[in-house]
Amino acid sequence: MKVLVLGTSSGAGKTTFTAMMCRYLSTHGHDPAPFKGSNLSLNSYATADGGEIGMGQAFQAWACGSEPVTDMNPVLLKPSGNGRIQLVLNGRPHSDISRESPMDKALVLRTVHEAFDRLSAEHDIVVCEGSGSPVELNLMERDVANTGLMRELSVPAVIVGDIERGGVFAAIYGTWRLMPEELRPLLKGFVINRFRGDASILGPGIERIEELTGMRCLGVLGYEFLRFPEEDSLSVSDGRFEGDDPLQAYLDNLDEMVSHAEGSGFDFEGFLEIARG
């Protein structure tokens, strides 16, 4: 099984949602693995075998109850200033990319595909995380983690939209509309994230988006106070590890989220159906 979690923007909540799903699956009889095709981040984690991956995937691995491995984030892009970016493949520095020497997309996609295959051979479900918005019109040709992965692996996707800033229906609908037509059938569901208040007020809007796009709404998730660092610096987290055992605090935090999601009637079964394809 495989599924891709896309976001309507940076900071929409992809990383945490993916971690929450990993935690849910691993505590409900599955053996999940997180995966992010390509990650642009300076915040990295050293795996046991000395490789380097994005911190978000390390946390997600722990949420699965497993050790982080480089296959979970086979491509890491580390901005090194002056318009240069260090390309890390399978956890090892590969080359520097810049305007003059752009990324070899074929090589990168092959690396991503192989890592994914290794991962899915060992786990029954791979929960992939996208990067930024999948429909940045000027970046789509070069995209790896979103439309790149969808093309390469035909992975079905759900869109996470952040309602805190408002405009979430527009963001989800616009993301669906701007998706290349041949990939649109892979968009199966959406999630409304960071809602405060009485969710029943959203009903008519959700129904309309379901009608317009054919995607199904998996649920409305409430605002959560994170007690662990978020993936990238765009979303400033007030949270921090609490207590003596930070990893346990993180898992407890995810368990709370799962239980809140269950309480709100989140459609976990629907998520699995999408992953089954």
Partner 1 sequence: MDCIKKKVNEELERGWIGCNRDCEYNPCHFKGQDCTFCYCPFYPCGDTDLGNNITGRRGNDIWSCTDCLFIHRTDVCRHICSEVERLGITEAGDPRFKDIFRDVKERFWRRGRALMVVGATSDAGKSLMVTALCRILLRRGYLVAPFKSQNMSLNSRVTMYGCEIAMIQELQARAAGLTNPDAHMNPILLKPKGDTVSQVMVLGQPYGDYDVEHYYSDFVPGPGREIVAENIDFLKKRYDFVVMEGAGSPAEINIYDVDIANMRAAEIADADVVLVVNVEWGGSFAYALGTVELMPECDRKRVKGIILNNLRGNPANIMPGVREIEERLGIPVLGIVPHTRLDLPGEDSQSLRGLRTKGDGRAVVGVIRYPRIANFTDLDPLLLEDVTLRFVQTPEELEGVDAVVLPGTKNTVVDYLWMRETGLADAVAALRGRVPVMGICGGYQMMGRVLDDSLGIEGGEPRVLDGIGLFDNRTVFGEYSKRITQDSGHMAIGDGGEVTGYELHMGVTETSEKPLFRIDGFVAREAWDEGSVREDEMLFGTYLHGVFDRPSFRRHFLSLVRCEGGSAVREEPRDYVQSIEENLDKLADAVEQSLDMDALMGILGVGQ
Binding residues for partner 1, per CB under 8 A?
A: 7-12, 132-133, 135-138, 165-175, 177-178, 196-198, 201-206, 208-209, 234-238
- Closer CB to partner 1, residue 239 or residue 270? 239
Q: How far is the CB of 138 from partner 1 (least distance, A)?
A: 4
**Which residue stretches of the chain are H helix?**
14-26, 55-63, 105-122, 147-153, 168-178, 203-213, 246-263, 268-276
Contact between residue 34 and residue 72 where contact means Cβ atoms under 8 Å apart: yes
- Closer CB to partner 1, residue 55 or residue 192? 192
- Closer CB to partner 1, residue 69 or residue 171? 171
Identify residue 273 by its one-letter amino acid code. Answer: E
Concatenated DSSP letters of 147-211: HHHHHHH---EEEEEE-TTS-HHHHHHHHHHHS-TTTGGGEEEEEEEEE-S-GGGGHHHHHHHHH
Identify residue 238 by its one-letter amino acid code. Answer: D
Q: How far is the CB of 139 from partner 1 (least distance, A)?
A: 8
- Closer CB to partner 1, residue 13 or residue 74? 13
Q: How far apart are CA 173 and CA 150, in angstroms?
A: 18
Measure the N-to-C terminal CA separation of the chain; round to a whole number of Å.
7
Q: How far is the CB of 77 from partner 1 (least distance, A)?
A: 15
- Closer CB to partner 1, residue 141 or residue 244? 141
Identify residue 82 by its one-letter amino acid code. Answer: N
- Closer CB to partner 1, residue 209 or residue 274? 209
Q: How far is the CB of 204 from partner 1 (least distance, A)?
A: 5
Specify the residue for token string 């690396």.
111
Q: Using CB atoms within 10 A of its CB, is residue 47 exposed (0-12), middle (13-18) or buried (19+)? A: buried
Q: How far is the CB of 275 from partner 1 (least distance, A)?
A: 24
Q: How far is the CB of 137 from partner 1 (least distance, A)?
A: 3
Instruction: Return phi, psi of residue 179, to 5°.
Output: -65, 135
